[in-house]
A = this chain, B = another copy of it.
Amino acid sequence: MKNLIPADDLLSNNKVECAIDEVTEINRSEHIIATGNGTMFKYGKLILATGSNPVVPPIPGIEKKNIFAIKKDVAYLQDLIGKLDKVNDLCIVECGFIGVEIAEECRRRRPELNISIVEMLSHCLQLVYDEEFCMNAEKVLKEQNINLLLDEKVDAFLGGDTVEKVRLSSGKEIKADMLIIGIGTAANIGLAEKADLEIGPTKGIQVNRYMQTSDNDIFACGDCAEKVSFFYGKPSNLKMASISTMEARIAGANLFSIRRVNMGVIGVYSTVLGGNAFAAAGLTSSQAIAKGYSVITGESEAVNRHPGCMPGGANLKVRLVFEAGTGIILGGQITGATSAGELINAVSACINKRMTADDIATFQTGTHPALTASPISYQLVNAAENAIGSIYIYIYIYIGETEKYYI
């Protein structure tokens, strides 16, 4: 409980009245909401921040005991932890950020527990990293004696009242007296649907770039709101706390006159695995290629101190993904030192302003022996520089000067 973020003071200090109750209906024509306790509230503007719930897949046996999702519910999570301390074989379904972090936390808590992760894709964290980075993460998990079952789907949960085994699509069966499912979340749109607000293609509450729903007096933000990609402007499934808070700041600013625009979701992630940071922003090479981009990547790796023997030094590798024709950055991936947690936000700033590889290679960075790599081996800049030769060759061949090239 001590880990909950305290918000009550923040609200009362800012003279925000807070009613703990469930909104059951929105009367749009009267601008009134009704709650479960029978209270009515008049509104001028309304913000829906109803969040999301973990997806629980309709797999046979899903109703058995000891199968958990990751709900934002303290009592539920305390029950989960209580069970975790008594089981022998934990199986985690899906190896995205949630799966990976849960696996590591469970290993820390129960060094002797059998832990497996079932992932339908070929690599863990594949939606966020290119292959090499995924394989680094897999190495960390294997070193912690976590069993990875890749390219596998769960066909059924077997057992009596309580789960005992998992049957996989390959036919393989594995022992599991507890399951944690981390396959993503679905927007809570019940209230919005009931109020006849438009729902978007990924089943979020449809919003415009100002966070207004199909009713101009009702805004939606966070996991419950439909999203579009910053890059290609089409619907995106991303749901993250950092996106939610950004959308909240836009919705709040726009309530009474439009002031801010949502440029779409980039997706900026970071985590720590086996003491190494893994951070990413934007599109991976393979995602970008799948979306039809021509892609050029650049990499740079160095210790985050100079000279490298300085105390506290750790390796830091940056990989940047660029659109080949324009040289504009599409994404970045970083592993190594924990300063990656802030460096990825420098990458995100570059993405946000659609910097080119030349912009990044010549943007002024600060360095210090005890804090970063040296100015000549600074990874962000050098990864951009590393890509530039290829970008110029690409432009030379495909865009501008085909004839000269073939003389």
A residues touching B (Cβ–Cβ < 8 Å)? 2-5, 230, 241-246, 249-250, 253, 259-263, 265-272, 277, 279, 281, 306-307, 309, 312, 338-346, 348-350, 352-353, 355, 358-359, 361-368, 370-372, 374-376, 378, 380-381, 385
Q: Name the B residues within 8 Å of A4 (CB-CB).
A: 307
How far, in Å, is A345 (CB) from chain B's closest CB?
Answer: 5
CA distance A266 to B366 in the complex (A): 10
Which residue from B272, B358, B376 sits with its C-beta under 8 Å from A370? B272
A-B pairs with lowest CB-CB distance, top 8:
A341-B371, A268-B366, A349-B349, A353-B353, A342-B342, A346-B346, A245-B375, A342-B343
Q: Name the B residues within 8 Å of A266 (CB-CB).
A: 364
How far, in Å, is A5 (CB) from chain B's closest CB?
Answer: 6
Which residue from B246, B359, B366 sits with its C-beta under 8 Å from A345? B366
Q: Name the B residues within 8 Å of A371 (CB-CB).
A: 270, 272, 277, 279, 338, 340-342
Q: Name the B residues within 8 Å of A263 (CB-CB).
A: 362
CA distance A307 to B1 in the complex (A): 11
Which residue from B246, B270, B279, B341 sits with its C-beta under 8 Å from A362? B246
A353 touches B358 (CB 8 A): no
B242 touches A364 (CB 8 A): yes
- Indicate whether A342 sits within 8 Å of B372 (C-beta atoms), given known contacts A364-B243, A366-B270, A367-B241: yes
- Indicate whether A348 sits within 8 Å of B365 (C-beta atoms), given known contacts A309-B2, A342-B342: yes
How far, in Å, is A292 (CB) from chain B's closest CB?
Answer: 23
Chosen A-B contacts, 18 in total, with CB atoms closer than 8 Å, are: A2-B309, A3-B307, A3-B309, A5-B306, A242-B366, A246-B365, A249-B385, A260-B358, A260-B361, A268-B366, A277-B371, A338-B370, A341-B371, A342-B346, A348-B365, A348-B366, A349-B353, A349-B355
